[in-house]
Chains A and B, each alone.
Chain A
Amino acid sequence: MIMEDKFSKTDIQKPENIVYKRTDLLVDRPLSYCPGCGHGTAHRMLMEVIEEMDIMEKTIGVSPVGCSVLAYDFLNIDMLGAAHGRAPALATAIKRMWPDHFVFTYQGDGDLAAIGTGETIHACNRGENITIIFINNGIYGMTGGQMAPTTLPGMRSSTSPYGRDVPTMGHPLKITELVAQLPGVYYVTRQSVHTPSNVRKTKKAIRKAFELQKENKGLCFIEIVSNCNSGWKMTPVQSNKWMEENMFPFYQLGDIKLDGKLVERKETVEKE
C-alpha cells in the first residue's frame, strides 16, 4: 500500500520522470535488517552496479555467516552460502571453475576479520581474481553486539561492557591495511554508505572493482564502514554521527591501494 499525501503531484509522477527507484535486481520483499542498517544500502549499490554493467547472468555471489547470511534471499542473482569465514575460499573455487564469470564475496567483520582471517589473507595473497566486499561495523551484530576484532579501543559492546581494554583485549585489527600490503591485491579502498556523497563514492568503487575483475587485474577489496545501531545501542541517525566522530578517525576513508600501488596516507593515531 502506498499512501498518497496531499503534497504529491500526479503530473510529475509519470514513469518517464522517474530518476531513481529501487533496482529490480533486489527481490521485492522486506529486508531482514534493522531499521537504518547500512547493509540495505550496500546491497542496493552492489545490485545497481551489476544492473548497469548488465552482468546479472554472469555474476555469482558468496554470502557469509552474519547479518548478511540471508543476502541470497534479497539479491536476485546466483548466490552460494559459505561456511563461516570461508567465502574467499569458495569464491576462489567458483572463479577458477568459471573464469569468465564475475565472482564476489559479501562479508562482515566477524566473518572476514575474525574466523575467516586465514582464508581472506591467503586468497588475497594468491591474488585470486575476485571482488571482496567487506562490511565493517566494529561489532558482531547478528549474535547480539559482542566485541569483534574491529571494535575500537574503549568501545562498549556486550562482551566489553566497560569499553575495549587494549592491554587485555588486544588492538583493533585493520585488516584492510593488512591485505593492502599483499602483492596479489590490486585495488583496496575504504568507503561508507551513511550520506548521499559516500553512497555515490561506494557505488563508483564497486563499479571499478568489477571493471578490474573483467580485466583480470587481481583481487579487489572494498571495505564499507557501516553502522550497527542495534549493537551500538543508538538510533540510526545517532549511530551515523557516532561513526563519523569515532570510526572515521581510526578507519580513514579513501583509497588505500590503487593500480597495485599503495597510496600515501597520513598515519592515524590510535585512540587509547
Chain B
Amino acid sequence: MAKIKGDIVINTERCKGCEVCIAACPFTVIQMSKEVNSKGYHFAMKVNDECTGCTNCALVCPDGVITVYRAKVATE
C-alpha cells in the first residue's frame, strides 16, 4: 500500500520567524526554534513526521523560504 509522504526544507537563514506557516499547517509539523539565525530571528523548523506535502506553509510564507517535496512511499 503506497502512501503519500511529504517533506519540507526551510531556508533558516532567510526565515524571519513570522509564524504564519505554523497557522497554515494542518498537521502542526512546524514549530519555532529555540535558537536564532544570523539575523536574530527564531526560525521555523520541522518537528514531526506528519507532513503530507500539501504546500500550504510554502504558499503563505512571505519570504518563500520553504521548499516542499512529495512522494509516494511503500508502507508495509
Contact = CB atoms under 8 A, between A and B. Distances in A.
A1 B20 contact: no
Contact of A8 (B14, B46, B62): B46
A17 interface: yes
A196 interface: yes
Contacts of A266: none
B12 A2 contact: yes
B67 A20 contact: yes
A14 B23 contact: no
Interface in A121-151: none
A12 B16 contact: no
B7 A13 contact: yes
A9 B70 CA distance: 11
B38 to A, nearest CB: 8
Given A1-B12, A14-B69, A36 B18 contact: yes
B19 to A, nearest CB: 5
Interface stretch (A89-97, A161-169, A235-243): A235-243
Interface residues of A, number: 42
Given A19-B55, A194-B60, A35 B69 contact: no
B59 A196 contact: yes
Contacts of B10: 2
A77 interface: no
A17 B12 contact: no
Interface residues of B, number: 41
A13 B62 contact: no
A199 B59 contact: yes
A5 B69 CA distance: 15
Contacts of B63: 30-31, 40
A31 B5 CA distance: 31
A200 interface: yes
Interface in A34-52: 34-41, 44
Interface of A: 1-3, 5, 7-9, 11-14, 17-23, 26, 30-31, 33-41, 44, 193-196, 199-200, 229, 235-237, 240
12 contacts: A5-B46, A7-B46, A19-B53, A20-B55, A20-B66, A30-B14, A34-B16, A35-B16, A235-B19, A237-B20, A240-B20, A240-B23
